[in-house]
């Protein structure tokens, strides 16, 4: 790895973090408005012109299904594994009523919903037509970029093997998992370097951070501190 000698270059590296995070966000909003609409759909009722799939994404699986929309020690009627598709029939203050694969209530924040246009879903069911797998993969990619790796992976699991996006999704998940582990390791190393006042090491390590909006935004304050301390402020 090349040693950084000039403070100007160190400042440039730190500035790149902020510029990259901002430009990636702007690019996402400008070139992928459908992703923003999909995220907004998670907090709103299903529109007549869209088809939504809800799946379990509990950070501590399996997901509990309860007899009523409240957490109680005696109302768990069953559990479902992450990636399981849930059929939602009602909503109540942060809870979802489902009737498949079990009848009961699940906490909405432990699920993720992917919505696609009904026309795209219909076309996906026709022979030789475009499927909606790429749209789901795009939504999963946005989830990954926003820092929700588990939800991103769970979304890709809803893509059927018949979809053209199936193999790309498998490759994307493998890459996401490798990059996420690299980012976690780099973040820990940078924090340790900060505690030991190794400011130059912090600025060197930031070059190894994968291209992920969440992690670059998370590292921005650390880089800012390193630049200030390196310059004696």
pLDDT for the residue numbered 15: 46
pLDDT for the residue numbered 27: 36
pLDDT for the residue numbered 71: 92
What six digits make up the tokens of 65?
């299904």
Side-chain half-sphere CA neighbours of 150 within 13 A: 14
CB 178 within 8 Å of CB 146: no
pLDDT for the residue numbered 50: 59
Mean pLDDT by 10 residues, the chain (233 residues): 44 45 38 39 45 75 92 93 84 92 91 61 48 81 88 89 86 90 90 87 83 84 82 69
pLDDT for the residue numbered 4: 43
**Which residues are CB-contacts of 114 (< 8 A; sequence separation ≥ 6)?**
38, 52, 53, 55, 136, 139, 140, 155, 158
CB 131 within 8 Å of CB 89: no
**pTM (2 d.p.):** 0.50
Distance CA 209, CA 222 (A): 13
pLDDT for the residue numbered 56: 81
CB 176 within 8 Å of CB 153: yes
Task: Give the neighbor-by-neighbor strand order of the sheet with 76-80.
Answer: 76-80, 63-66, 104-107, 95-100, 85-92, 50-56, 111-117
Q: Please, what are the domains in the chain? A: 7-30+179-230 (no CATH), 32-164 (2.30.30.40)
CB 116 within 8 Å of CB 54: no
CB 152 within 8 Å of CB 138: no
> What crossing angle do the helices spanning 213-230 and 166-195 adopt, rounded to 10°?
20
């Amino acid at each position: 790895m090349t040693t950084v000698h000039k403070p100007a270059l160190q400042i440039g590296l730190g500035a790149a973090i902020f510029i990259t995070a901002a430009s990636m966000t702007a690019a996402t909003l400008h070139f992928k408005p459908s992703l923003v609409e999909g995220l907004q759909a998670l907090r709103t009722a299903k529109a007549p012109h869209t088809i939504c799939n809800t799946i379990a994404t509990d950070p501590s699986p399996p997901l509990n299904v309860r007899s009523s929309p409240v957490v109680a020690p005696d109302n768990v009627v069953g559990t479902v594994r992450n990636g399981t598709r849930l059929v939602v029939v009602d909503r109540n203050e942060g809870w979802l009523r489902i009737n498949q694969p079990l009848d009961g209530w699940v906490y909405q924040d432990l699920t993720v919903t992917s919505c696609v246009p009904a026309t795209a879903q219909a076309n996906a069911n026709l022979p030789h037509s475009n499927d909606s797998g790429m749209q789901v993969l795009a939504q999963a990619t946005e989830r990954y970029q926003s820092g929700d790796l588990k939800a991103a992976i769970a979304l890709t699991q809803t893509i059927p093997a018949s979809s053209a996006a199936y193999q790309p999704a498998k490759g994307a998940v493998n890459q996401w998992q490798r990059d996420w582990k690299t980012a976690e390791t780099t973040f820990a190393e940078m924090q340790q370097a900060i505690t030991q006042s190794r400011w130059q090491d912090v600025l060197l390590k930031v070059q190894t951070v994968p291209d992920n909006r969440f992690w670059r935004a998370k590292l921005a304050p650390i880089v800012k501190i390193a630049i200030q301390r390196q310059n004696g402020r």
